[in-house]
Amino acid sequence: METAEIRRRFLAHFGRRGHTAVPSASLLLDDPNLLFVNAGMVPFKPYFLGQESPPYDRAVSVQKCVRTLDIEEVGKTTRHGTFFQMNGNFSFGDYFKEGALELAWELVTGSQESGGYGFDPDRIWVTVLQDDDESFDLWRSVAGIPEQRIQRRGLLDNYWHMGVAGPGGPCSEIYVDRGPEFGPDGGPIVDEDRFLEIWNLVFMQEELSSVRAKDDFDVKGPLPAKNVDTGMGLERVAYLLQGKHNLYEIDEVFPVIERASQLSGRPYDGGGERGHETDVLFRVVGDHVRSALMLIGDGVVPGNEGRGYVLRRLVRRAVRSMRLLGVDEPVLPELLPVSKDRMKVSYPELELQWERISSIAYAEEDAFRETLKAGTQIFDLAAGEAKRAGSTLLSGDRAFALHDTYGFPIDLTLEMAAEQGLQVDEDGFRRLMAEQRDRAKADARAKKAKHGETHHYRALADDLGRPVEFTGYDEVVSEGTVRGILAGAGTVQAAGEGEEVELVLDRTPFYAEGGGQLADQGIIELGNGARLQVLDVQSPVTGLIVHQARVLAGEVTLDAPAQTFVDVERRRSISRSHTATHMVHKAFREALGDTATQAGSENSPGRFRFDFSASGAVPASVLADVEARVNDLVLADLLVHQEYMSQQEAIRSGAMALFGEKYGDQVRVISVGDWARELCGGTHTERSAQLGLVKLLGESSIGSGVRRVEALVGADAYRFLAREHVLVAQLTEALKARPEELPERVADLVERLRAAEKEIDRTRVDRLLAAGGELARGAEDIGGVSFVGHRVEGATAGDVRKLALDVRGRMPSGRPSVVAIVGSADGKPSVVVAVDDEARSRGLSANALVKAAATALGGSGGGKDDVAQGGGADASHTDEALAEVRALVSRASVGAAAD
Ligand code: ATP
Ligand code: MG
């Protein structure tokens, strides 16, 4: 059964039983504790935590997941993908254990003709929590599973919570016995490879007041409404139903392995349970190519931190595995389309965005190939050095330099070192990395000091019971009440003058930094006369808005009424930037096509930065067109308006969806006229004319496939142009030319300067060569050989060569002659030796002579028998160099005289 069909049956099964189908959220859904969505329940967290009330009692989804922790498992176990899809059904205070078991059993064992998966009931095993007799009995009565195939397990395996105070409860897992050839008898408690976990059913039944570890927590009491959250591994079910040995051989992954096998000319064996080494490489390729595809599809761009780094690592591991399989050419152009053709069945957007996705992926591979080229050389040097020194250890310094200077990932260094029988001082490497990170982040940390620890915020958000109301779309002055004060590491009751606190109100017009828009600043006044200056605003957990503020006067106390005043100038200026960003984004898409999607932005007062995907530099003419287009529409004074609608409606209306939004929710769409429409949570101007003026400052590359434009808006754009105007005025004054004549005038000046420099050069060489005749006349006789050895200051290697040849030409003919000239420019010596035919027939070779001279100079040299040239490091040894040549000449003439 194809994976897409398994997925379809899951949705249909639960759809028929009253579940609302909720589309997968983006992998990048905002969650302060997660890099990527890693389970089907993540988008539903606010419902389970009671922060929001669910619009349905029952839901079903197939959620895209990425588990970065499983990256090392890939290819080695049979059941771990970095990207995978989790089928899940959810009950919010509706059915509980019995309903969940029944629904799962029906689907798993229902016949394939009737829409089920048709697993043999005799091969199903389940686990329950140690003392969860209720589930135990239900598996007996509802599913008729015999007692010996229901196993009890402890809290570590069969209790679920979120790692923080909140809902928790027992879980029950469904396993399929793959058969005795895959491991010993005894059920999942004995062997999890033979008995493969396909589905985990979680029963949220109690509220935990504190959580210290997976199996160490306090139960506060039963939950008022009990919930069900389940997760079934789509790929795992597919591998069983397709009769394969692991999840890399299913229809959605295997075609990539097949193509990789063709490219490398090596077979994929697939025989062994563990497979042999090349099989693991093939599986890594199959898995990582698909994961990279899905990540880029959801808007990740390669980078050196966080999500971007995970993507980079996946691409690099895939490319590197192909190298180990013997393929040195670019591989993604061969493999990525294969994966896309498979995945587009369930994710049609992959086809729609193919140009963007593929260009980012290919550019990343190209960049990595460059890195590999440079890094491998450096690595080989370091490895050679270590070996010569008799060491088997590559120092942490070296590994760090490879990483820091050449972008060589540590895992690659480790692998390559292992191949050469070397070890890497990993501790040393990590220490250096940590030091560097600390340095880089000291700044950011100072600003967001307390945001690393989210549990205080969570506790506060829980206490509030509902999200803080953001009033800032409609007003810049609001009234609210102090609901929380954080200082140092925890909540406090009050704070006094001079202290820095984090203040939480029940409602506020202050915009928290997010969506590329910087935070508002301003003033908060309390009913008791206290006054605070707001320096920064953040939203560390969903639903909470935290003002970082300094107490200017009075005492801040809980429950005090508050008046909030946003700094209007700053806000307006930031809003102008944000609206301008949308307009520039749209104009770039018009000019470059839909692949020019936003990859990041920062909207600050008066200026903004906009990053977007593009395969190469954007021509100046396009920048000029975009700027002109935007400014035309600024003047057209378009209305900027917001609307709320469902995600689907938004997409249908042509709005650009940015990544990380949660699907299925009401979304906010910002439109500039009918022209630019985007999903956005930021603040904007009311009309486009309020932008005044938008000035692009140019563009640059910030990584493979991503370009950045920086721009100024409003008064800042005006000031910039005014400054340029002054500059031009100064130039016209200095050059006595009209502004439009400036480019020509400057080009003319540069041209004349160049000609003058050439002229000076020529004069210098003439003067140098003028000395040639005199040098030739002053030649010394060494045993019948005319010898000139001379040193010139300030002469380049080219000058020295010219002079040597000139002197040789002026030497008396019919006699063997040798000319050696040493020059030095900028402290670097160079030497040229020229000999004539007679000298050569006496066995004097310019090549040999120059080598001796260059060695004396601390360098090397070489060339032909008649002319050779060399260089060195130390200009203070020119006398020795000339003495070397002379000694060789005299030795040769002594030899010749003896003949
Ligand atoms: P395992 O112990 O096998 O790693 P898990 O306990 O981490 O599994 P859960 O967190 O309970 O798994 O996730 C629910 C379901 O998602 C699992 O029953 C499994 O079918 C699937 N699943 C989990 N991790 C992966 C993965 N890396 N690749 C594919 N499917 C997975
Ligand atoms: Mg796991």
Percentage of the chain lying above the pLDDT 90 cut: 60
Q: Sorting pLDDT into bands at 50, 70 and 90, what band is 394?
A: confident
Mean pLDDT along residues 811-829: 87
Predicted pLDDT at 749 = 93
Predicted pLDDT at 379 = 85
Q: Sorting pLDDT into bands at 50, 70 and 90, what band is 235?
A: very high
Q: Of all protein residues, whose CA lies closest to atom 24 belonging to ligand 1?
A: 80
Output the CA 79–ligand 1 centroid distance in Å.
Answer: 8
Q: Which residue has the higher pLDDT, 49 or 685?
A: 685
Q: Is the pLDDT of residue 733 over 70?
A: yes
What is the torsional sign of CA 140, 145, 147, 152? negative
Predicted pLDDT at 85 = 98
Predicted pLDDT at 335 = 97
Q: Is the pLDDT of residue 664 over 60?
A: no
Mean pLDDT along residues 669-673: 94
Strands 166-177 and 195-213: antiparallel
Predicted pLDDT at 451 = 43
Predicted pLDDT at 704 = 64
Q: Of all protein residues, whose CA lies closest to atom 30 belonging to ligand 1?
A: 233
Closest CA to 124 of 85, 151, 98, 84: 151
Polymer length of the chain: 899
Whether residue 43 has its Cβ less than 6 Å from ligand 1 = no
Whether residue 451 has its Cβ less than 6 Å from ligand 1 = no
Alpha helices by DSSP H, 636-714: 647-652
Whether residue 233 has its Cβ less than 6 Å from ligand 1 = yes
Output the CA 233–ligand 1 centroid distance in Å.
Answer: 6
Q: Sorting pLDDT into bands at 50, 70 and 90, what band is 896?
A: low
Element (H, E) at 233: strand 216-233
- Distance (Å, rounded) from C-alpha 450 to C-alpha 108? 47
Output the CA 625–ligand 2 centroid distance in Å.
Answer: 51
The residue whose CB lies within 8 Å of the most ligand 1 atoms, and thus the one to mutate among 78, 127, 197, 244, is 197
Q: Is the pLDDT of residue 340 over 90?
A: yes
- Distance (Å, rounded) from C-alpha 598 to C-alpha 669? 16
Give whichever of 56-60, 164-168, 368-372 has the largest mean pLDDT.
56-60
The residue whose CB lies within 8 Å of the most ligand 1 atoms, and thus the one to mutate among 68, 79, 162, is 79
Q: Sorting pLDDT into bands at 50, 70 and 90, what band is 898?
A: very low
Q: Sorting pLDDT into bands at 50, 70 and 90, what band is 477?
A: very high
Q: Is the pLDDT of residue 93 over 90?
A: yes
Q: Is the pLDDT of residue 658 over 90?
A: no
Q: Is the pLDDT of residue 152 over 90?
A: yes
Predicted pLDDT at 876 = 85
Predicted pLDDT at 254 = 96
Predicted pLDDT at 771 = 83
Q: Of all protein residues, whose CA lies closest to atom 20 belonging to ligand 1?
A: 233
Tokens of 103: 């629904």
CB 79 within 8 A of CB 238: no
Query: CA angle at residue 408 from 402 to 411, to 5 degrees?
Result: 110
- Virtual CA dihedral for 772, 774, 780, 786, nearest 10 degrees? 50
Q: Is the pLDDT of residue 835 over 90?
A: yes
3-state secondary structure of 547: strand
- Distance (Å, rounded) from C-alpha 154 to C-alpha 850? 82
The residue whose CB lies within 8 Å of the most ligand 1 atoms, and thus the one to mutate among 70, 156, 200, 240, is 200
- Distance (Å, rounded) from C-alpha 1 to C-alpha 117? 9
Contacts of 557 (CB under 8 A, 6+ apart): 482, 493, 494, 526, 528, 530
Predicted pLDDT at 121 = 96
CB 106 within 8 A of CB 95: no
Tokens of 832: 């040229």
Whether residue 88 has its Cβ less than 6 Å from ligand 1 = no
Q: Which residue has the higher pLDDT, 659 or 498?
A: 498
Closest CA to 212 of 161, 157, 153, 171: 161
Q: Of all protein residues, whose CA lies closest to atom 16 belonging to ligand 1?
A: 233
Closest CA to 852 of 818, 824, 805, 887: 887
Q: Is the pLDDT of residue 899 over 50?
A: no
Predicted pLDDT at 659 = 46
Whether residue 236 has its Cβ less than 6 Å from ligand 1 = yes
Q: Which residue has the higher pLDDT, 3 or 460?
A: 3
- Distance (Å, rounded) from C-alpha 331 to C-alpha 318? 9
Whether residue 787 has its Cβ less than 6 Å from ligand 1 = no
Output the CA 41–ligand 1 centroid distance in Å.
Answer: 13
How confident is the prediction for the chain on average, in pLDDT?
A: 89
Predicted pLDDT at 320 = 87
Output the CA 199–ligand 2 centroid distance in Å.
Answer: 12
> How many separate helices (H) and strands (E) can be counted in the chain?
25, 35
Q: Is the pLDDT of residue 377 over 70?
A: yes
Mean pLDDT along residues 346-367: 91
Mean pLDDT along residues 594-601: 81
Q: Is the pLDDT of residue 175 over 70?
A: yes
Predicted pLDDT at 272 = 53
Closest CA to 820 of 742, 769, 885, 725: 885
Predicted pLDDT at 70 = 78
Model pLDDT for residues 785-807, shown as the tens digit of each residue:
999 999 888 778 888 999 999 99
Q: Sorting pLDDT into bands at 50, 70 and 90, what band is 883?
A: very high
Q: Is the pLDDT of residue 757 over 50?
A: yes
Q: Is the pLDDT of residue 809 over 60?
A: yes
Phi-psi region of 507 (alpha: psi -120 to 50; beta: other; left: phi over 0): beta
3-state secondary structure of 779: coil
Model pLDDT for residues 398-452, shown as the tens digit of each residue:
888 888 776 677 777 887 888 888 888 888 888 888 877 776 655 444 434 444 4
Output the CA 187–ligand 1 centroid distance in Å.
Answer: 17
Predicted pLDDT at 812 = 84
Whether residue 253 has its Cβ less than 6 Å from ligand 1 = no
Q: Which ligand is nearest to the CA of 239?
A: 1
Q: Which ligand is nearest to the CA of 171?
A: 1
